[in-house]
Chain A
Amino acid sequence: MASNEEILAGLAEIVNAETGLDVADVQLDKSFTEDLDIDSISMMTIVVEAEDKFEVKIPDEEVKNLKTVGDAVSFIAAAQA
């Protein structure tokens, strides 16, 4: 089971690979769409990569609730628990 810090670092790597954004820009309070300019298709790619990396299930209907990086970290942490 990964700590929140590890989940954030892992997510940042996934976001970097998908979008080229600097890992340092991927902060808990950042909105995926507003701040990081990630579109819905890239978001889905990030979700599927995160599922693989953290061995969790993130259902389609849950994705729209993951507005910020912090939302995603919390969801993954809870799903791993």
Chain B
Amino acid sequence: MSVQLKTPATNAYSRILGTGSFRPDVVVTNDDVCQWIDSSDEWIRQRTGIITRHRADANTSVLDMAEAASRRALEDAGITAEQLDTVIVATVTFPHATPSAASALTERLGATPAPAYDISAACAGYCYAVAQADALVRAGLAQHVLVVGVEKLSDYIDNSERTISFLLGDGAGAVVIGASEVPGISPSVWGSDGSKWNAISMTHSQLALRESVLGSENELLESAVDEPLEEHANPWPTLRQDGQTVFRWAVWEMAKMARKALHEAGIEAEDLAAFIPHQANMRIIDEMVKQLKLPESVVVARDIAENGNTSAASIPMAMDRMRREHPEVSGKLALQIGFGAGLVFGAQVVLLP
């Protein structure tokens, strides 16, 4: 062959250049929750460590929260929206199957025509997106990637449900990832276990919702509904989980993956300044800290106490808060690990901006 294809000029390393977050205004206390389920403030605190969660009002959308967090991350990174050349949004609560939240967000920010897409990896979505952003930058396909984790979980819960709804909050966190002269993101340790597909899931599919609303006699709408709704079931699909199965996997399996991420990064727990796990449940965080034998010098993100579990948004939100409350972690190493519905997981060691 006489011609040779050109390939992108690659970057040696990538790193997080800036962070931003947005917490919606409505504060839901444990006493509020106890209006909907038979429980108590003490019971909820003891079992979950949650004191409050923030939720968005009806007029605050996934895109509104994503935009607010993104603008703060861009400012923190010291770049303009025009400099973005990829936008990745991790979310499971954008209410349109298509088009993506990312393309709308890109237009709102003034980053058009940057490539834009959403990913569906639930509570691991942010870490999955960081894995992609790191690879895109090092491969030379992008110089500045905006990664956003955003959820309006309050649209997909049933407040009278006891397995997961009372844990959940809304919010957005964003990071800008760009080229770096020093290694800033370790090899991603990520994966899935579809044998536990039902461990955290929706109560039923959107097809079952359509059948319950429009009826099954309409031939134009006929399609396979795997599990039709029970007669009095709430037609709107909402989240539920098998808490014990998830807890066991989240602590013991994820501790293994966290140790693997440290190994792949070539560091020991003592080298960390911070641990920023997905904010699923304080008991999971505490048990992971124990399993990983983290020294007391490691600052552990415990944003869940005030913010609840915000799925894909929880790690970047907690990271942004930690940088403000613990400026000493700046320029040091943090282990981040996301895990959730799929089941899926992703972990990296990152250099904090």
A→B interface (CB under 8 Å)? 39-41, 43-45, 47-48, 60, 63-64
**Cross-interface CB contact of B47 among A39, A44, A64, cutoff 8 Å:** A39
A48 touches B248 (CB 8 A): yes
Interface of B: prevailing SS: helix
Judge whether A48 and B252 touch: CB under 8 Å. yes
For chain B residues 228-248, which have a beta carbon within 8 Å of chain A? 242-245, 247-248
- Given A39-B47, A41-B47, A44-B244, 14 more contacts at CB 8 Å? A40-B243, A40-B247, A41-B243, A41-B247, A41-B281, A41-B283, A47-B248, A48-B248, A48-B251, A48-B252, A60-B242, A60-B244, A60-B245, A64-B244
For residue B243, which residues in chain A have a CB less than 8 angstroms away from its CB?
Answer: 40-41
Report whether A63 and B287 are in contact in the complex, using a CB–CB cutoff of 8 Å: no
Task: Give complex CA distance A64, B47 in Å.
Answer: 18
Whether the Cβ atoms of B248 and A60 lie closer than 8 Å is yes
In Å, the complex CA distance between A63 and B244 comes to 9
Complex Cα gap A41–B242 (Å)? 11
**Which residues of B line the A interface, CB within 8 A?**
46-47, 242-245, 247-248, 251-252, 281, 283, 287
A-B pairs under 8 A by CB, number: 27
B248, A43: Cβ atoms under 8 Å? no
Q: Of B242, B245, B281, B287, which is within 8 A of A45 by CB?
A: B287
CB-CB nearest in chain A for B43: A39
- Chain B neighbourhood of A45, CB < 8 A: 251, 287
**Taking the nearest CB of chain A, how far is it from the CB of B71, in angstroms?**
38
Whether A40 lies near B248 (C-beta < 8 A) is no
Kindly provide the distance from the CB of B43 to the nearest chain A CB, expressed in whole angstroms: 9
B287 and A40 contacting across the interface, CB-CB below 8 Å:
no
Which residue of the partner chain A has the closest CB to B284? A41
B252 touches A43 (CB 8 A): no
State in angstroms the CA–CA spacing of A70 and B145 once bound together.
Answer: 56
Which residues of A have CB within 8 Å of B46? 39
Q: Shortest 8 CB-CB distances between A and B: which pairs?
A: A60-B245, A44-B248, A44-B247, A41-B283, A44-B244, A40-B244, A41-B247, A48-B252
By a CB distance below 8 angstroms, the chain A residues around B287 are 45
Q: Give bound CA distance, A48 to B250, whole Å.
A: 12
**CB-nearest residue of chain A relative to B248?**
A44
Enumerate chain B residues within 8 angstroms of A44, measured Cβ to Cβ: 244, 247-248
Chain A to chain B contacts (Cβ below 8 Å), 7 pairs:
A40-B243, A41-B47, A41-B243, A41-B247, A44-B248, A47-B248, A60-B244
Query: In the complex, what residue of chain B is closest to A63 when comparing beta carbons?
Result: B244
- Among A39, A41, A43, A64, the most chain B Cβ lie within 10 Å of the Cβ of A41
Inter-chain contacts of A63 with B (CB < 8 A):
244
Inter-chain CA distance A43–B248, complex, in Å, is 10
Which single residue of chain B is at the shortest CB-CB distance from A61? B245
* Chain A residue nearest to B243 in the complex (CB): A40
The answer for the CA separation of A20 and B216 in the assembled complex, in Å, is: 56
Give the complex CA separation of A40 and B243 in angstroms. 8
CB of A40 to closest CB in B, whole Å: 5
Most buried by A among B46, B248, B251: B248
Find the B residue at minimum CB distance from A43: B244
B262 to chain A, nearest CB (A): 21
Contacts of A40 in B (CB 8 A): 243-244, 247
Closest residue of chain B to A48 (Cβ to Cβ) is: B252
Name which residue of chain A comes closest to B196, CB basis: A60
- Chain A residues in 8 Å Cβ range of B242: 60
CB distance from B38 to the nearest CB of A (A): 15
* Distance from B293 Cβ to chain A, minimum over Cβ atoms (Å): 16
- Which among A40, A60, A63, A64 has the greatest number of chain B C-beta atoms within 10 A? A60
Instruction: Report the minimal beta-carbon distance from A75 to chain B, rounded to whole angstroms.
Output: 16
Query: How far, in Å, is B278 (CB) from chain A's closest CB?
Result: 16
Enumerate chain A residues within 8 angstroms of B248, measured Cβ to Cβ: 44, 47-48, 60
- Which residue of chain B is the closest to A40 with respect to CB atoms? B244
Q: Which residues of A contact B245 (CB under 8 A)?
A: 60
Q: How far is the CA of A45 from the CA of B247 in the complex (A)?
A: 9
